Amino acid sequence: MSEPWMKRVHVAQGFPKPSTDAAPTAVFLGLFFIGALTNIFIFLRNNKRGHKFLFNGLCIGFCMARVVTTSLRLGWMYNLDNRGLAIAATIFVAAGVLLLFIINLIFAQRILRGLHPHLGWSKALSRVFLVLYILIPLLLIMVVTASTQSFFTTHRATAKADLNMQRGASTYFMFLAFLPIPIVIFALAYPKRNDPDHFGQGHFWLKSGVVLTASILLTLGAAFRTGTIFIDWKQEFATNPPWYNAKWCFYFFNFTVELIVIVLYIALRIDLLFHVPNGSKGPYSYSRGKEAAEQEAEIRGLQRSSTDRVSRGSEVSHPTFDANAKEKVEV
């Protein structure tokens, strides 16, 4: 028997059911787990050679968040009236993708700073990006509060307020997903007044292609979620649901789109494309930091070769002494 809250709360693409949701949810759980393991392998291998790249760690966090999301949905579909599982699964579906939005926006910022160092590192623009990043956790808290309250409230005005908060936050998150597109296009099209500040490996066109492709995919998913949340639920949808309420829409516009982005990041090696030296700050700090790192590596190489020569020299001297000593004993 369904609980009273299940009649009040509208879940996008319907409540999960074992007959329709168990198989695809389990498949995505396995795929995201493989994505996490792959990023762990890349992250540990990079750390061994002193190549620190935080964003592989963020990709690990995202993949593990999706493993938790799919696990919660599996638990929820077999305990459909469990309100706690329903709340947790709903929140994780909405919040997990934010990590990809942040990663892609930072990559776009690096492209802008690389192609236009003085503009990209200007105080005004840096403060704008800082505000964008600060708003993310604030709106996330608002979404969690509104989503949780919507499962408990019986007051129509409160439910309407919760829905408006969810709509506002979803619109902002869609804006974040889309924002790298105009940033990268501007960075490529705006006339260059100074030499670019190169970073990582690969041409700026390849870097831009990665960011634009990921942003288009993420915007597609975010726009679908935002569009559907603005559509008022009508009673006739229960018997004759519209196309956007089909199950395939949930798995395509959420998990499939996100998984393609993760595969794109892994296949094109974002750890090489978007790597910048630690402590980079200000115009041309990317290339200067790279030169400093190369000089340091060269110095270390010279020190190692010098140490090796000394050790080889000591190894050669011992046999000579031993041979002379043996000759004396034999005489």
Q: Parse the chain into domains and list their residue ranges.
A: 4-283, 287-331
Burial class (CB in 10 A: 0-12, 13-18, 19+), 48: exposed
Query: pLDDT for 45-65, tens place per residue?
Result: 998 888 888 999 999 999 999
The Cα–Cα gap between 105 and 270 comes to 13
**Residue 293: per-residue pLDDT:** 47
Query: pLDDT for 147-193, tens place per residue?
Result: 889 888 888 888 899 889 999 999 999 999 999 999 999 999 998 88
Give SS3 for 88.
Answer: helix
- What predicted TM-score, i.e. pTM, was given to this entire model? 0.83
Query: pLDDT for 251-290, tens place per residue?
Result: 999 999 999 999 999 999 999 999 988 888 888 888 876 5
Residue 297: pLDDT over 50:
no
CA triple 92-170-188, angle to 5 deg: 105
Class of domain 4-283: mainly alpha
Find the largest Cα–Cα distance for the chain.
112
The Cα-based distances of 57 to 90, 188, 256, 270 in angstroms read 24, 28, 21, 12
SS3 per residue for the chain: CCCHHHHHCCCCCCCCCHHHHHHHHHHHHHHHHHHHHHHHHHHHHHHHCCCCCHHHHHHHHHHHHHHHHHHHHHHHHCCCCCHHHHHHHHHHHHHCCHHHHHHHHHHHHHHHHHHCHHHHCCHHHHHHHHHHHHHHHHHHHHHHHHHHHHCCCCCHHHHHHHHHHHHHHHHHHHHHHHCHHHHHHHHHHCCCCCCCCCCCCCCHHHHHHHHHHHHHHHHHHHHHHHHHHCCCCCHHHHCCCCHHHCHHHHHHHHHHHHHHHHHHHHHCCHHHHCCCCCCCCCCCHHHHHHHHHHHHHHHHHHHHHHHHHHHHHHHHHHHHHHHHHHHHHHC
Report the mean per-residue pLDDT for the chain: 85
Mean pLDDT of 99-107: 95
Sign of the C-alpha dihedral computed for residues 220, 225, 226 and 232 taken in this order? positive
The Cα–Cα gap between 15 and 34 comes to 27
234 versus 202: which is more confidently predicted? 202
The pLDDT confidence band at residue 324, using thresholds 50, 70 and 90, is very low
**Tokens representing 55?**
């964003």
Residue 206: pLDDT over 50:
yes
**Residue 211: per-residue pLDDT:** 97
Residue 331: pLDDT over 50:
no
Please tell me what DSSP assigns to residue 201.
S
